[in-house]
């Protein structure tokens, strides 16, 4: 069995994505959601699983239960995917690459990240890996100094890509005052909101596909559009991190492109 572990977990879309993929590829596996109230219960939960995704608030703490931390997850200091192989739990971070895949072939000169939480860390590491200079602005400014290679936001400097890695949207707020955001957007060519629109009505694969193709704008994306800037929300990132995790779960039997086809068919 596979599953996603977090608290809260009720509204996770991961079971729908992974069970649809298992079914599409005729793999006899099942994926569930697990509400974990205390991180100390990780070992007993993991003993029942072959692989898992990990979400808030456990992406960092779960590292201590891994026998090996693989690739970019080491630099980020957080994992979102666990896979058990040859008696060892391996931890991966697919959020970072999932985010980067959304930027496709775009040329990004530099990036400003709004926020300094866990997702900002994944985003800052992957951008720097691709030689994109990263600056950061956060409500609690002191947190920025814990990020390696990142420079603090400078008023008046031009930022090409502006990423909202705050959870302000979940409280119905923009990450900054609208006039300040507008000023930052004046030199931007692209914005990215890690949040995605509410998916509460999504119950089946068909609902999910409708949601994917006809979703509403998040507050940040809607504000970007008003400022006439192209924008991306976090739904494709959510899907891509899941596809990358699925690749790990099926030991690369299917490529990312084959997996992506299930949700993003070329003829849709």
- Beta strand 51-54 pairing with 81-85: antiparallel
Is 137:153 a contact under the CB 8 Å cutoff? Answer: yes
Q: What is the nearest approach in angstroms of ligand NDP to the Cβ of residue 26?
A: 27
Q: What is the nearest approach in angstroms of ligand NDP to the Cβ of residue 239?
A: 8
Q: What is the nearest approach in angstroms of ligand NDP to the Cβ of residue 59?
A: 7
Q: Rounded CA gap, 42 and 70, in Å?
A: 19
Q: Does 4 bind ligand NDP (CB under 6 A)?
A: no
H or E segment to which residue 81 belongs: strand 81-85
Task: Select the residue interacting with ligand NDP from 48, 170, 183, 210 (CB under 6 A).
Answer: 170
Half-sphere exposure of 129 (CA within 13 A, CB side): 15
Q: Rounded CA gap, 164 and 115, in Å?
A: 7
Residues 6+ apart with CB under 8 A from 216: 197
Nearer Cβ to ligand NDP (26/140): 140
| Site map (CB under 6 A) of ligand NDP, residues 193-232, x = contact | -xxx------------------------------------
Closest listed residue to residue 154, CA positions, set 131, 134, 130: 134
Nearer Cβ to ligand NDP (20/119): 119
Task: Select the residue interacting with ligand NDP from 14, 93, 94, 119 (CB under 6 A).
Answer: 119
Nearer Cβ to ligand NDP (76/237): 237
Nearer Cβ to ligand NDP (27/202): 202
Task: Select the residue interacting with ligand NDP from 28, 47, 131, 140 (CB under 6 A).
Answer: 140
- Among 33, 40, 59, 260, the active-site one is 59
Closest listed residue to residue 80, CA positions, set 18, 9, 6: 6
Total interface residues for ligand NDP by CB under 6 A: 27
| DSSP state for residue 51 in the 8-state scheme | E
Nearer Cβ to ligand NDP (88/139): 139
Q: What is the nearest approach in angstroms of ligand NDP to the Cβ of residue 142?
A: 9
Q: Rounded CA gap, 37 and 197, in Å?
A: 26
Q: Rounded CA gap, 204 and 201, in Å?
A: 9
Residue 85: active-site member? no
Residues 6+ apart with CB under 8 A from 245: 18, 51, 53, 80, 81, 92, 94
Residue number of the CB closest to ligand NDP reads 117
- Judged by CB under 6 A, the chain residues 22 through 61 that form the site for ligand NDP are 56
Provide the annotated active-site residues: 59
Give the footprint of ligand NDP on this chain (CB under 6 A).
56, 95, 115-120, 138-140, 143, 165-168, 170-171, 173, 175, 194-196, 234, 237-238, 241
């Amino acid at each position: 069995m596979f599953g996603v572990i977090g608290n809260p977990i009720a509204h996770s879309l991961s079971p729908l994505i992974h069970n649809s993929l298992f079914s599409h590829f005729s793999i006899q596996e099942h994926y569930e959601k697990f509400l974990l109230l205390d991180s100390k219960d990780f070992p007993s939960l993991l003993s029942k699983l072959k692989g898992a995704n990990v979400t808030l608030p456990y992406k960092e703490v779960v590292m201590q239960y891994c026998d090996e931390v693989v690739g970019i997850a080491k630099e980020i200091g957080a994992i979102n995917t666990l896979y058990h192989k040859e008696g060892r739990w391996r931890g991966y971070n697919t959020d970072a690459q999932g985010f980067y895949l959304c930027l496709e072939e775009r040329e990004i000169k530099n990036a400003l990240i709004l926020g300094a939480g866990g997702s900002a860390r994944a985003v800052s590491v992957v951008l720097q890996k691709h030689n994109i200079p990263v600056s950061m602005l956060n409500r609690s400014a002191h947190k920025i100094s814990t990020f390696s290679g990142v420079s603090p936001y400078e008023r008046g400097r031009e930022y090409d890509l502006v990423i909202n890695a705050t959870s302000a949207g979940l409280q119905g707020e923009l990450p900054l005052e609208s006039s300040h955001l507008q000023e930052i957007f004046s030199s931007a060519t692209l914005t990215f909101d890690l949040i995605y629109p509410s998916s509460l009505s999504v119950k089946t694969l068909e609902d999910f596909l409708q949601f994917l193709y006809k979703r509403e704008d998040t507050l940040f994306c809607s504000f970007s559009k008003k400022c006439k800037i192209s924008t991306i929300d976090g739904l494709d990132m959510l899907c891509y991190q899941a596809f990358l995790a699925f690749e790990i779960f099926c030991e690369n039997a299917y490529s990312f492109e084959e997996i992506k086809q299930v949700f993003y068919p070329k003829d849709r």
